[in-house]
């Protein structure tokens, strides 16, 4: 299985980079894992709602340019569907069983994901109603993907 996370903007803080690098290393024995970063658009607080839509649209086009037709896409969205870690683990196993070997997760920028990206997605995942910073979301998601493989293996990592 190939797993890709597409994120908007560069990861700046070392502690996020270190955390992600640790889980990415652990994931190496289960899957080919990569993070693809697309450039973010400047989004000052003074933007009008149509300017905000333009920012999301531009970021959305960059995201979509990194997705191939064969990829199964999960969009991360607060209003998406919540799952337990066990359900998520089962879902990934089922996708592999049904021949989906390229799984892509998309995390939006500071203004969220454009409608075109939501439309392209095959499923939407919510980590609950809290708004998480997109950089932290990358780390949390990477850990949950690792956890999903450990659950599937029956590892005591998941208690
Ligand atoms: C700072 S948030 C964007 C907030 C924006 N107001 C929105 O509603 O999408 C950046 C990205 O992180 C992800 N994200 C943040 N919190 C999330 C949550 N609780 N569940 C799923 N994804 C989340 C989403 O992909 C979101 O586009």
Q: What is the pLDDT of residues 101-113, one digit of tens each?
A: 999 999 999 999 9
Task: Provide the 3-class DSSP secondary structure of residue 16.
Answer: helix
Please state the atom number of ligand 1 nearest to the C-alpha of residue 131.
16
Domains along the chain with CATH numbers: 2-153 (3.40.1280.10)
Binding site residue list for S-adenosyl-L-methionine:
76, 108
Binding site residue list:
76, 108
Task: Please work out whether the CB of residue 140 comes within 6 Å of at least one atom of ligand 1.
Answer: no
Q: Could you tell me which residues come within 8 angstroms of residue 20 by beta carbon, excluding any fewer than 6 positions away?
A: 11, 35, 138, 139, 142
Instruction: Report the separation in Å between the CA atom of 156 and the middle of ligand 1, taken as the mean of its atom positions.
Output: 30
Please state the atom number of ligand 1 nearest to the C-alpha of residue 109.
10
Mean pLDDT over the full length of the chain: 96
Q: What is the pLDDT of residues 47-82, one digit of tens each?
A: 899 999 999 999 999 999 999 999 999 999 999 999
Q: What is the pLDDT of residues 111-131, one digit of tens each?
A: 999 999 999 999 999 999 999
pLDDT of 43 higher than 90: no
Beta-bridge partner residues of 4: 34, 104
User: Quick one: DSSP state of residue 37?
Assistant: E
Task: Please work out whether the CB of residue 5 comes within 6 Å of at least one atom of ligand 1.
Answer: no
């Amino acid at each position: 299985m190939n797993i890709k996370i597409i994120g908007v903007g560069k990861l700046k803080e070392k502690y996020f980079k270190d955390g992600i690098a640790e889980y990415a290393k652990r994931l190496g024995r289960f899957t080919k894992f990569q993070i693809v970063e697309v450039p973010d658009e400047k989004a000052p607080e003074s933007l009008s709602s149509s300017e905000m839509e333009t920012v999301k649209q531009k970021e959305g086009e960059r995201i979509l340019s990194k997705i191939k037709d064969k990829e199964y896409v999960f969009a991360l969205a607060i209003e998406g569907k919540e799952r337990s870690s066990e359900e998520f683990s089962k879902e990934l196993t089922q996708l592999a069983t049904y021949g989906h070997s390229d799984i892509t997760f998309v995390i939006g920028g500071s203004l969220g994901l454009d409608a075109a990206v939501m439309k392209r997605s095959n499923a939407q995942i919510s980590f609950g109603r809290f708004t998480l910073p997109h950089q932290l979301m990358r780390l949390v998601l990477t850990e949950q993907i690792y956890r999903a493989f450990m659950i599937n293996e029956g590892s005591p990592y998941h208690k």
